[in-house]
């Protein structure tokens, strides 16, 4: 049954479908109906029913999912986390990720972590969520002072040190929420020595302790509770009855936050936010109301649109691309963008402007093509429910959030999305829009060039391939998480795993690309392992921004020279087919590799070192005037 058909069913009908699917032992139908129940009737009991049904079907579903579509997750809590596991199971399955979730035994957080033979380490998680109540780390009768802060930080550091001995997982640590009820007695308690200030200093100390380790992230649980409402974040009844620290109403927010980290780890985040204009970035219709009639102001009528633009601008600082998809006269709309005094987002903030009278689905396809991203990397925001419905129907891969009628709620809706979550923030994130603007300049040069050869030489491409150290690992891990098309194996190593590979003798290479239009930053990477007389390429990927310019050949030439210097007889390339890496599949054969063996979606290709020569890439590092 299709998703839109499931939407028409009643709660009782969906529950009946789940039971029938269980009787027929149809795991795919169980999953579909369970997700429909949780989506359309998202009460607490239905979430638990859906999770129980899905958990029963997961063993039979595993064969249908690739390794990168699965996730091994550990919840290490000092309180009860069973309900959170259920919510997270449903949320991740709804995102196409099949989870296996390990929950540490109740009240055994420290024992589970410190015992290096515990079930936690036998489970071998990819990502660990560490959530400790403050009372579980503080000595009895502690005061809110510096010694207590030091004790908490030392206890957390001890737990993390033990985790690092046995696992290379990504570790997410929740910081500590300020309590809902503070013992404020006078105005002086709001200042230096207050409990509120103590929690602020504690969370800063926790962040400082782990800030140098890119495989450990601090999740702002304090902010999450504040957004939800501190009084509502914990239900005293369930806290004292079953030690459930997270209330029923708060569970969806915590699960959504955790799911965002898992999606980022699995490369399931989105890259581009595409926006309508009329009644989305400003109030009113420019074709009818004109410059003076639209509602957009920093202080008066239309302030909600200004604040929404401010929120969108903050997303660009996190590496999110912005684009416009609007049915409008181009000249009228661009005039607003350029000249309106309260227009915060200018042309420079958008990597693409599609302002015309074409249908919006066609424009979205063109945006994806111009940016060289998949349509599943796009989020589309439009105030018109009809336009949203048309895009959902024609391009189901695009995420189209349901926008409220009141634009004052726009920021709240988008802030709840977990689709732009990043694990590592890099220099490239800050200049991502500028990188795409440079890409447009390259495309214009290509169109004006008489031949591909003239284009490549005139770019004045400079490439440096070097062994990656600690400061490059976050960017390489980010590339592995986000690069899908030209990614030979789709292996997504975390920073901790990359560190471990380097320590065990694997060679990690980064590729820095520059040309006449600017610096692309680290745009590719490769991982090489020496196996006897062979050097095996365990990972080889390149950002789509630099494809087609010979950079991938230049990197392979470097790997060839490395294999030769290592005394290897052959260079072996691994290729694992995914649903998205079609552009990468022919590269080995085009370079000159021959197929060695193939098993299912995995194949190995071989390139003898003796008797071969690297593929020439004369225009790289040659400069415009080096051509003969």
pLDDT in tens, 369-407: 888 888 999 999 999 999 999 999 999 999 999 999 999
User: Could you tell me the pLDDT band of residue 150, with boundaries at 50, 70 and 90?
Assistant: very high
DSSP character string of 301-336:
TTHHHHHHHHHHHHHHTTT-EEEEEEES-HHHHHHH
pLDDT in tens, 552-580: 999 999 999 999 999 999 999 999 988 88
- Within 548-624, where are the H helices? 551-565, 587-591
pLDDT in tens, 401-431: 999 999 999 999 999 999 998 887 666 666 7
pLDDT for 183 beyond 80 = no
Q: What is the CA radius of gyration of the chain?
A: 27
What is the Cα–Cα distance from 285 to 384, expressed in whole angstroms? 12
For residue 128, list its beta bridge partners: 74, 171
Q: 72: how many CB neighbours lie within 10 A of its CB?
A: 15
pLDDT in tens, 208-236: 999 888 789 999 999 999 999 999 999 99
Q: Answer with the residue of higher pLDDT: 6 or 585.
A: 585
Q: What pLDDT is attached to residue 625?
A: 38
Residues with Cβ within 8 Å of residue 493, at least 6 apart in sequence: 477, 480, 501, 527, 539
Q: What pLDDT is attached to residue 186?
A: 52
pLDDT for 36 beyond 60 = yes
pLDDT in tens, 325-366: 999 999 999 999 999 999 999 998 999 999 999 999 999 999
Q: What pLDDT is attached to residue 5?
A: 59
pLDDT for 436 beyond 90 = no
Helix (H) or strand (E) holding 149: helix 146-166
User: Could you tell me the pLDDT band of residue 75, with boundaries at 50, 70 and 90?
Assistant: very high
Kindly list the distances between the CA atom of residue 100 and the CA atoms of 70, 93, 123, 160, 259, in Å, as whole numbers in the listed order: 8, 11, 9, 22, 13
pLDDT for 2 beyond 70 = no
Q: Which phi and psi (to 5°) does residue 521 adopt?
A: 70, -160
pLDDT for 280 beyond 70 = yes
User: Exposed, middle or buried: residue 567 (CB in 10 Å: 0-12, 13-18, 19+)?
Assistant: exposed
Kindly list the distances between the CA atom of residue 126 and the CA atoms of 67, 74, 270, 526, 575, in Å, as whole numbers in the listed order: 12, 8, 21, 21, 22
Which range among 206-215, 249-258, 448-457 shows the weakest confidence by mean pLDDT? 206-215
* Residue the block writes with tokens 């908490």: 152
State the average pLDDT over residues 285-311.
Answer: 92
What is the Cα–Cα distance from 261 to 418, expressed in whole angstroms? 8
Q: What pLDDT is attached to residue 190?
A: 53
Q: pTM to 2 decimals? A: 0.81
Helix, strand, or coil (residue 594): strand
Buried b (16+ CB within 10 A) or exposed e, 317-329: eebbbbbbbbbbe
Q: What pLDDT is attached to residue 628?
A: 34
What is the Cα–Cα distance from 226 to 357, expressed in whole angstroms? 43
Domains of the chain (ranges plus CATH)? 1-64 (no CATH), 65-265 (3.40.50.1110), 272-415 (3.40.50.1000), 427-626 (3.40.630.30)
Q: What pLDDT is attached to residue 493?
A: 86
User: Could you tell me the pLDDT band of residue 624, with boundaries at 50, 70 and 90?
Assistant: very low
Which range among 138-152, 196-210, 318-332, 353-367 shows the weakest confidence by mean pLDDT? 138-152
Q: What pLDDT is attached to residue 345?
A: 95
Q: What pLDDT is attached to residue 626?
A: 39
What percent of the chain has a predicted confidence (pLDDT) above 90?
Answer: 67
What percent of the chain has a predicted confidence (pLDDT) above 70?
Answer: 95
Residues with Cβ within 8 Å of residue 615, at least 6 apart in sequence: 553, 556, 557, 591, 592
């Amino acid at each position: 049954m299709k998703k839109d058909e499931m939407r028409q069913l009643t709660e009782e009908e969906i529950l009946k479908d789940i039971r029938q699917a269980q009787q027929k032992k149809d795991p795919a139908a169980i999953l579909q109906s369970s997700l429909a129940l949780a989506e359309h009737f998202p009460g607490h009991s239905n979430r638990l029913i859906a999770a129980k049904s899905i958990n029963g079907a997961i063993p039979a579903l595993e064969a249908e999912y690739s390794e990168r579509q699965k996730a091994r997750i550990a919840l290490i809590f000092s309180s009860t986390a069973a309900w959170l596991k259920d919510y997270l199971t449903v949320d991740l399955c709804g995102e196409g990720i099949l989870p296996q979730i390990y929950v540490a035994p109740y009240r055994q957080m420290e024992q589970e972590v410190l015992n290096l033979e515990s079930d936690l380490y036998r489970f071998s998680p990819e990502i660990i969520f560490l959530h400790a109540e403050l009372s579980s780390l503080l000595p009895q009768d502690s005061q809110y002072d510096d010694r207590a802060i030091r004790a908490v930080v030392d206890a957390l550091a001890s737990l993390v040190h033990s985790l690092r001995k046995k696992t290379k997982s990504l570790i997410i640590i929740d910081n500590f929420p300020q309590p809902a009820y503070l013992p404020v007695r006078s105005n002086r308690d709001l200042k230096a020595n207050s409990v509120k200030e103590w929690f602020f200093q504690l969370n800063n100390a926790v962040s400082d302790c782990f800030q140098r380790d890119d495989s450990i992230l601090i999740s702002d649980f304090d902010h999450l509770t504040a957004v939800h409402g501190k009084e509502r974040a914990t239900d005293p009844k369930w806290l004292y009855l079953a030690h459930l620290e997270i209330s029923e109403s708060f569970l969806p927010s915590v699960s959504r936050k955790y799911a965002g980290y898992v999606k980022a780890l699995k490369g399931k985040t989105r890259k581009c936010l595409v926006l309508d204009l009329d009644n989305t970035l400003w109030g009113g219709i420019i074709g009818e109301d004109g410059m003076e009639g639209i509602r957009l102001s920093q202080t008066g009528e239309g302030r909600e649109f200004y604040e929404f633009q401010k929120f969108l601008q903050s997303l660009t600082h996190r590496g999110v691309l912005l684009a416009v998809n609007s049915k409008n006269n181009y000249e009228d709309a661009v005039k607003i963008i350029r000249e309106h005094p309260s227009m915060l987002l200018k042309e420079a903030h958008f990597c693409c402007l599609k302002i015309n009278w074409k249908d919006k689905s066609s424009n979205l396809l063109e945006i994806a093509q111009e940016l060289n991203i998949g349509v599943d990397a796009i989020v589309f925001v439009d105030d018109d429910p009809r336009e949203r419905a048309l895009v959902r129907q024609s391009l189901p891969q695009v995420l189209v959030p349901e926008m409220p009628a009141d634009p004052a709620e726009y920021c709240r809706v988008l802030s709840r999305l977990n689709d732009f979550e990043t694990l590592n923030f890099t220099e490239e994130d800050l200049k991502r829009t500028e990188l795409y603007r440079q890409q447009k300049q390259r495309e214009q040069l290509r169109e004006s060039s008489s031949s591909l050869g003239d284009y490549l030489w005139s770019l004045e491409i400079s490439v440096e391939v070097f062994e990656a150290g600690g400061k490059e690992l976050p960017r390489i891990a980010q590339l592995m998480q986000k690069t899908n098309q030209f990614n030979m194996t789709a292996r997504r190593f975390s920073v901790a795993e990359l560190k471990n590979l380097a320590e065990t003798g694997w060679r990690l290479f980064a590729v820095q690309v520059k040309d006449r239009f600017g610096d692309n930053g680290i745009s590719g990477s490769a991982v090489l392992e020496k196996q006897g007389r062979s050097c095996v390429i365990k990972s080889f990927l390149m950002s789509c921004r630099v494809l087609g310019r010979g950079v991938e050949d230049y990197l392979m030439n470097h790997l060839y020279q490395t294999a030769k210097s290592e005394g290897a007889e052959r260079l072996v390339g691994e290729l694992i087919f995914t649903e998205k890496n079609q552009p990468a599949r022919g590269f080995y054969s085009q370079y000159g590799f021959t197929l060695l063996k193939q098993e299912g979606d995995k194949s190995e290709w071989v390139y003898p070192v003796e008797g071969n020569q690297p593929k020439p890439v004369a225009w790289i590092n040659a400069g415009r005037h080096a051509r003969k």
